Amino acid sequence: MGYVHHLFSCRCSRKRAFQIAKSFLPILEWLPNYRVKEWLISDVISGVSTGLVATLQGLAYALLVAVPVGYGLYSAFFPILTYFFLGTSRHISVGPFPVVSLMVGSVVLSMAPDENFLIDGSNATGTNDAQRVLIASTLTFLVGILQVIFGVLQIGFIVRYLADPLVGGFTTAAAFQVLVSQLKIVLNVSTKNYNGVLSIIYVSMPF
């Protein structure tokens, strides 16, 4: 709340307005100080390497969300483009994340299960994909609004109270869930999409 109070109580001047703009757009602060001759070649090499990895991850994580793989490319490109203007770290790689993909996929499959599209017709698959993309996009937009609100209110301090065993257990379980969910693709085994508490067991049964 201190940041919000400072934002509305600051004096109106060109210098103060530029400082506020830099707080929202960090690119205005670091770009004028960028050393092109010293950093450009290294940044291009690291950018290409990171971009290739992010592209492959986006294709794989799109399958976790149960949407066409082409949307994985969108999710790998646009977050990096946005972070270029709004980000503050020079080393972080922004893009799809397996745990978030699993959570979004759980919502997508619960609201648009396969049973709703088991009908005769040539456009059943297209309708299925369109509805799931709409659900995933709506959920992403709503979560983005909440994150902006949490960022303005500076609620990130809650993460400090999460115990290390809790974070470690959640990370291990998420890694196992991602591994099992990809077995049907690696082994080329056709299975249904399951959602719920015992979904990981149902997915593992055909193997």
Q: What is the pLDDT of residues 35-89, one digit of tens each?
A: 888 888 988 998 888 888 888 888 888 888 888 888 988 888 888 888 888 887 7
Residue 44 lies inside a defined structural domain of this protein: no
Positive/negative CA dihedral, 176, 179, 182, 186: negative
The pLDDT assigned to 6 comes to 55
The per-residue DSSP string of 63-74 comes to: HHHTS-THHHHH
pLDDT at position 9 is 54
Residue type, 182: Q
Residue 6 counted as domain residue: yes
**Residue 146 pLDDT:** 92
Chain-wide mean pLDDT for the chain?
79
Burial profile 42-52: b = 16 or more Cβ within 10 angstroms, e = fewer:
eeeeeeeebee
The pLDDT, as a whole number, for residue 134 is: 92
On the question of pLDDT at 141 being above 80, the answer is yes
pLDDT at 194 (0 to 100):
65
In a domain, residue 183? The reply is yes
Task: Give the whole-angstrom CA distance, residue 72 versus residue 63.
Answer: 8
Flag whether 13 is in a domain.
yes
Question: Structurally, how many domains does the chain consist of?
Answer: 2
In a domain? residue 25: yes
188 domain-assigned:
yes
pTM beyond 0.75: the answer is no
131 occurs within a structural domain: no
Given a cut of 60, is residue 123 above it in pLDDT? no
Contacts of 87 (CB under 8 A, 6+ apart): 26, 94
Residue 18 lies in a domain: yes
Question: What's the pLDDT at 92?
Answer: 75
SS3 38: helix
Euclidean distance between CA atoms 91 and 94, whole angstroms: 10
What's the average model confidence in pLDDT over 121-142?
A: 81
Q: State which residues form the domain around 18.
A: 1-33
Alpha-helical regions (H) of the chain? 2-9, 14-24, 27-30, 36-65, 70-86, 98-111, 124-153, 164-181, 183-186, 199-204
Per-residue pLDDT at 139: 92
**Averaged pLDDT for residues 120-137:** 76
Query: What's residue 136's pLDDT?
Result: 92
